[in-house]
Amino acid sequence: MKPLIFSINKIDITSLNVECQIIFYIFCPFKKKNIILPLNQGKIMDNIKKRFGSKIKEIREKRGLNQEQLAELIDMESRHLSRIETGKSFTTLENIEKIAKILDVNINTLFSFEHKKDKNELIKEVNSYLKNASQKEIELIYKIVLDIFN
């Protein structure tokens, strides 16, 4: 029996949610020119690279490693790691796996950015939770907020 072989000339990922688009774009085995991207894809990718790099830096510092040490452990030039951490460059899946292994985290942890949303996004999200909260929950939240700011 012959294996099934097929060819894909173009892929339209504009109907996918943003997270799926990003993952598909980063790890897509096809040539990037064959992917139909949403208009704001460049901005999204720049933001992802910055958040990804920031996440690596955050975890690296928690582990007590400097850039040179991590770079040596993953067999990468520290200059390249610096560019990744600042969001100026991205890296391969192989390097992402090495980084995750050395930092002792799952790969998905490196792409978890929920805690890094900007202030306006966070306020909007908190407000949406507050709108659905009960009176008792609001009172508890109010007490917690007072404790934090007093």
Tens-digit pLDDT profile for the chain (150 aa)?
444 443 444 445 455 555 555 555 555 544 444 444 444 555 666 778 888 899 999 999 999 999 999 999 999 999 999 999 999 998 888 899 999 999 999 888 888 776 667 788 888 888 888 998 899 988 988 888 888 888
Contact 75, 98 (CB under 8 A): yes
pLDDT at 19: 53
Tell me 36's DSSP state. Answer: E
Phi/psi of residue 11, nearest 5 degrees: -125, 125
pLDDT at 113: 73
Structure tokens at 133: 């909260």
Contact 20, 13 (CB under 8 A): yes
Tell me which residue has tokens 């980084």: 99
- CA dist 72 and 88 (Å) reads 20
- CA dist 133 and 137 (Å) reads 6
